[in-house]
Amino acid sequence: MNKPMKKLNTEYQEWDAHCEKHGPYRVRGIVINGKRIGGICPKCEEERMQKQQQEEQARQKRERAAMLERLLGSAGIPPRFQGRTFANFRVERDNQGQASALRLCRAYAKRFHEMMAAGTCLIMVGSPGTGKTHLASAIAQSVIIDGRSVVHFTTAGRLLRHVKSTYGRDSAQTEEQAIRSYLAPDLLIVDEVGVQRGTDAERFILTEVLGLRYEYMKPVIVIGNCTEDELRSHLGDRLYSRLQEGGGSVIVFDWDDYRPKVHRDERLPWRRVPPA
């Protein structure tokens, strides 16, 4: 036969205790059958909680830094442009076009969550060396660092080669899978559009990728080293118009190549922007 359980004599009491580190303190604890339970030094407990909080904050900071490093590393931003930011974009005196381009790109990056919701795109056209890729890279790094967004930076040539590589018998992807893979990033940046002036098949691939992102309301930044009319002709009136829906803007970089000036400017740090 099971023995009846012994009744516990429990009561709350207060008593004096001593901490080797902090000295005397008052305890309010439980006494069970004459045995005191409790007695943790409140200052020791406070220090333990602070240490635990600091360790958790440090862990979260490491995780954020690692995540940003992964996002920046996988974005495909060319090494030459990984240090290009809004802060080091050069605006020459009295050049309202450069100032306007910088302002529009800053606003696009700052409001990128709104841009994502509306599928708002951005078109940059103009001669080489006018800062289009600089500002596109600044947008990319800004939305990654500030919003943890996934960005993919590529050129039209690389995009075409990727899709056409699926035509081989041993390809692990189909053409459709390759095209749809460009739906994945929050922001797709396609540089050097219109440079190829390729076949109808190549234009079809490019318009399929851009058109698919339009249909799914996924933002795209299209960069062309050409005039606005030339880019419209390359993409077709229909797609060019679609890319401007939802508040999409066309930024025309109509000033001279200033790369030689920029390379002499000691304010430009040609290095990667460290995660914030």
Do 126 and 114 have their domain in common? yes
Q: Which of 74, 98, 122 is the last residue of a domain?
A: 74
pLDDT on residue 28: 82
pLDDT on residue 3: 62
What domain count does the chain have? 2
Residue 112, in any domain of the structure: yes
Do 179 and 242 have their domain in common? yes
Q: pLDDT tens string for the chain (276 positions)?
A: 566 666 677 778 888 888 888 989 888 887 877 777 777 888 998 999 999 999 888 888 888 777 777 777 778 888 888 888 999 998 888 889 999 999 999 999 999 999 999 999 999 999 998 999 999 999 999 998 887 889 999 999 999 999 999 998 888 899 999 999 999 999 999 999 987 566 788 889 999 999 999 999 999 999 999 999 999 998 999 999 999 998 899 999 998 777 666 555 545 443 333 333
- CA dist 274 and 276 (Å) reads 6
SS (H, E, C) the chain: CCCCCCCCCEEEEEEEEEECCCEEEEEEEEEECCEEECCCCHHHHHHHHHHHHHHHHHHHHHHHHHHHHHHHHHCCCCHHHCCCCCCCCCCCCCCHHHHHHHHHHHHHHHCHHHHHHHCCCEEEEECCCCCHHHHHHHHHHHHHHHHCCCEEEEEHHHHHHHHHHHHCCCCCCCHHHHHHHCCCCCEEEEECCCCCCCCHHHHHHHHHHHHHHHHCCCCEEEEECCCHHHHHHHHCHHHHHHCCHHHCEEEEECCCCCHHHHHCCCCCCCCCCCCC
pLDDT on residue 273: 36
Give me the domain span that covers residue 52.
41-74
Do 258 and 122 have their domain in common? yes
Contact yes or no for 176/139 (Cβ under 8 A): no
Do 60 and 146 have their domain in common? no
pLDDT on residue 259: 66
Please give the radius of gyration of the chain, using alpha carbons only, rounded to the nearest integer.
30
pLDDT on residue 114: 94
Do 198 and 67 have their domain in common? no
Do 47 and 98 have their domain in common? no
Residue 249, in any domain of the structure: yes
- pTM beyond 0.85, yes or no: no
Do 115 and 132 have their domain in common? yes
Sheet holding 220-224, edge to edge: 151-155, 187-191, 220-224, 122-126, 249-253
Do 110 and 245 have their domain in common? yes
Do 49 and 118 have their domain in common? no
Residue 139, in any domain of the structure: yes
Chain-centroid distance, C-alpha 233:
31
pLDDT on residue 79: 87
Residue 12, in any domain of the structure: no
Residue 97, in any domain of the structure: yes
Do 153 and 97 have their domain in common? yes
Do 68 and 163 have their domain in common? no
pLDDT on residue 2: 62
